[in-house]
A and B are shown apart, each in its own frame.
Chain A
Amino acid sequence: MALFDEKVRTQLKDILKSMKDTVNLSFFTQEFECWPCTDVHEFVKEISSISDMIKLSVFDFQKDKAQADKFNVDKIPAIVLNGKDNAYSGIKYYGLPGGYEINSFIQDLIELSGKKEPFPAGVASRIGAIDKRVRMQVFVTLTCPYCPSAVGIAHRIAQESPMVEADMIDVSLFPYLGQKYQVTSVPMTLINDVYSLVGVQPVENILDVIKKL
């Protein structure tokens, strides 16, 4: 059954018209698909059928290990979003970008296609100065209206810095991670397994934490 109804499909079509260039999606699943994998597979198929600018590649997490390693994919279902050159942007979704999370996904598509507002100069130079490897894991639930903002900020920092990668993690699909990191409030942004920030934090706060690493 189609995930998008006609109304959502039409809206998406309209919004994605503003994409400027190609965005590459790499979807990682396995031969016998787990139930969330099936949903996410259907999602990437449907979204890439809406715009010619979206190119989809599907990989097997086990068999295509080299590809998974290239994009630091360590669990499935995973979607990696890259720009036209398909060089690793650091942007990943672990789980379905459903509920409110569709908004961060669409925002990523548009920004990666080359259409984005530049950060203020002060923020841009701080992001440019990041010289350590940073991994942000943003834990979300799909019913959380704030979460797409937290995902959007983390993904945007990842876009601007080759040192940063940022994952959206639907905590309901990965309860062991929720337990490991004691997630009881979302959005929660975990930075290099060391610092966690609850709620939507302004980009300056995230950069302050990154500086402490």
Chain B
Amino acid sequence: MDFNLSPGMLTAKQNFKPLKSNMTYDVLILGGGPAGFTAAVYCMRKGVSTGLIVKEIGGQVAETAGIENYMGFRYINGMDLAMKFKEQVSQFGIDYDEKSSVDSIEAGEIKKVRMADGRVLSARALIIATGAAYRKLGVPGEEEFKGRGVANCSICDAPFYANKKVVVVGGGNSGIEAAIDLAKVGDKITVVQLLDRLTGDKALEDKLNEFKNVEIRFKHEVTSINGSEGIESITVKDGKTGKTDDIPAQGIFVEIGLIPNSALAKGVLKLNQNGEIMVDCSCKTSEEGIFAAGDVTDVPFKQIIIAAGEGAKAALSACNYVLMGE
């Protein structure tokens, strides 16, 4: 038995101070992924008063099985990397709140952040780094079977599909990773991909090809998830012929990309048609003094290393705004 001890989760706690509602921060950062944590380090080092509001540590990073493209680590699991981010932030004694969610934000000279628990926090500048969540298929059966066969986290839930038939939707890195996790335990894995090829990294694709129990349906899309007590089959449509057929399956993992967690910015900041917060090359949004970074923005390529870099940029822009009014 392995013990995936995350010392940062525990020891770091002592160096965090609670957020205060009775003061105006220079910068408030929303988000506990690579963008938010990196922004926090930059702000603290600049010496501006900073608060960090985290809903889930690590965001999507935390549930990535293995990471081989974040520099400095040849291989690290997602939760460990997230904990390392947190540990690094904790050394600065930042005001910090975890597992709390933000209801809304308000623009203006002094920006307000309204928390779900009723607290209202204020700051001269905001950095929104709230990341992204799984995109849904939007087909019949998806909501009905959510948590009862419709899943997203293959490392969490793969054990429930031992010797079972499973469909994975999506042929990018996340889809391929899910298919690999499931192929190790499942009876038959069918990957349903809209395009005529996989779009993940070659290294992952090679690994997937080692499994004999994986079939890939190119140019197919899922049209419904069927069953009564649990899932029994997935209906897919062939994009070329328009024909549909049912794939017997007890589970379906949906890995078709992300939707930005930008609900709190709706009506306050300019969003693009995908709902991403629009930023310029210095992470400025459409409102003065509000900055955004990482997967919640319209910056291309959702990658840990890019989100971290954007977080640094947003922090430096926010500090310039606070210190020099730029």
B119: interface (CB < 8 Å): yes
How many chain A residues touch the partner (CB < 8 A)?
A: 49
- A11 near B117: Cβ-Cβ < 8 Å: no
Q: Which chain B positions have C-beta within 8 A of A171? A: 159-160
The majority secondary structure among interface residues of chain B is loop
| Cα–Cα distance between A103 and B153 once the two chains are bound (Å) | 19
- B56 near A200: Cβ-Cβ < 8 Å: yes
- Given A182-B148, A183-B160, do A202 and B101 touch, yes or no (CB 8 Å)? yes
Q: Which chain A positions have C-beta within 8 A of B156? A: 141, 143-147, 185-187
Write the B7-42 contact mask toward A (1 if CB under 8 angstroms, else 0).
101110110101000000000000000000000000
Binding stretch for chain B, among A49-57, A82-90, A116-124:
A116-124
- A184 near B149: Cβ-Cβ < 8 Å: yes
> Which chain A residues numbered 1 to 17 have a C-beta less than 8 Å away from chain B?
3-4, 8, 11-12, 14-15
| Cα–Cα distance between A103 and B9 once the two chains are bound (Å) | 8
B182: interface (CB < 8 Å): no
CB distance from B72 to the nearest CB of A (A): 20
- B99 near A149: Cβ-Cβ < 8 Å: yes
B239: interface (CB < 8 Å): no
Using CB atoms, name the residue of chain B closest to A126.
Answer: B117
CB distance from B231 to the nearest CB of A (A): 9
Using CB atoms, name the residue of chain B closest to A207.
Answer: B117
- A99 near B230: Cβ-Cβ < 8 Å: no
Report which of A107, A184, A198, A202 forms a contact with B10, defined as CB distance below 8 A: A107
Q: Which chain B positions have C-beta within 8 A of A184? A: 147-149, 151, 157, 160, 230, 251
Q: Which chain A positions have C-beta within 8 A of B323? A: none
| Cα–Cα distance between A126 and B51 once the two chains are bound (Å) | 25
- Given A143-B159, A144-B155, A145-B155, do A14 and B7 touch, yes or no (CB 8 Å)? yes
Report which of A142, A144, A183 forms a contact with B153, defined as CB distance below 8 A: A144
| Cα–Cα distance between A196 and B153 once the two chains are bound (Å) | 18
- B55 near A202: Cβ-Cβ < 8 Å: yes
CB distance from A10 to the nearest CB of B (A): 10
Q: Which chain B positions have C-beta within 8 A of A25? A: none
Using CB atoms, name the residue of chain A closest to B118.
Answer: A122
Report which of A15, A122, A202 forms a contact with B7, defined as CB distance below 8 A: A15
| Cα–Cα distance between A146 and B10 once the two chains are bound (Å) | 15
| Cα–Cα distance between A106 and B117 once the two chains are bound (Å) | 27
Using CB atoms, name the residue of chain B closest to A96.
Answer: B1
CB distance from A106 to the nearest CB of B (A): 6
Q: How large is the interface on B (under 10, 10 to 19, 20 to 34, 35 or more residues)?
A: 35 or more
| Cα–Cα distance between A187 and B160 once the two chains are bound (Å) | 12
| Cα–Cα distance between A107 and B11 once the two chains are bound (Å) | 10
Q: Which chain B positions have C-beta within 8 A of A142? A: 1
CB distance from B145 to the nearest CB of A (A): 9
- A203 near B99: Cβ-Cβ < 8 Å: yes
Q: Which chain A positions have C-beta within 8 A of B160? A: 171, 178, 183-185
Report which of B4, B100, B101 forms a contact with A99, defined as CB distance below 8 A: B4
Q: Which chain A positions have C-beta within 8 A of B18? A: 117
Q: Which chain A positions have C-beta within 8 A of B58? A: 145
- B5 near A12: Cβ-Cβ < 8 Å: yes
A74: interface (CB < 8 Å): no
- B10 near A106: Cβ-Cβ < 8 Å: yes
- B55 near A186: Cβ-Cβ < 8 Å: no
- B62 near A145: Cβ-Cβ < 8 Å: yes
Q: Which chain A positions have C-beta within 8 A of B251? A: 184
Which of B6, B63, B100, B153 has the largest number of chain A CB atoms within 10 A? B153
- B14 near A18: Cβ-Cβ < 8 Å: yes
Using CB atoms, name the residue of chain B closest to A143.
Answer: B155
B2: interface (CB < 8 Å): yes
Report which of B9, B117, B118, B157 forms a contact with A185, defined as CB distance below 8 A: B157
A210: interface (CB < 8 Å): no
Which of B1, B149, B158 has the largest number of chain A CB atoms within 10 A? B1
Write the A95-109 contact mask toward B (1 if CB under 8 angstroms, else 0).
010111011001100
- Given A99-B2, A188-B147, do A146 and B101 touch, yes or no (CB 8 Å)? no
Q: Which chain B positions have C-beta within 8 A of A99? A: 1-4
B172: interface (CB < 8 Å): no
Q: Which chain B positions have C-beta within 8 A of A198? A: 146-147
> Which chain B residues numbered 75 to 94 have a C-beta less than 8 Å away from chain A?
77-79
CB distance from A121 to the nearest CB of B (A): 9
- Given A146-B153, A153-B99, A204-B116, do A182 and B230 touch, yes or no (CB 8 Å)? yes
A37: interface (CB < 8 Å): no
Q: A15-B10, A117-B16 are in contact. List 11 more A-B contacts (CB 8 A).
A: A14-B7, A99-B3, A100-B4, A106-B5, A107-B9, A120-B117, A141-B157, A145-B78, A146-B156, A171-B159, A172-B159
> Please, could you name 9 A-B residue pairs with CB atoms under 8 Å apart, sorted by A?
A18-B11, A103-B6, A110-B10, A145-B62, A185-B151, A185-B157, A202-B100, A203-B99, A204-B101
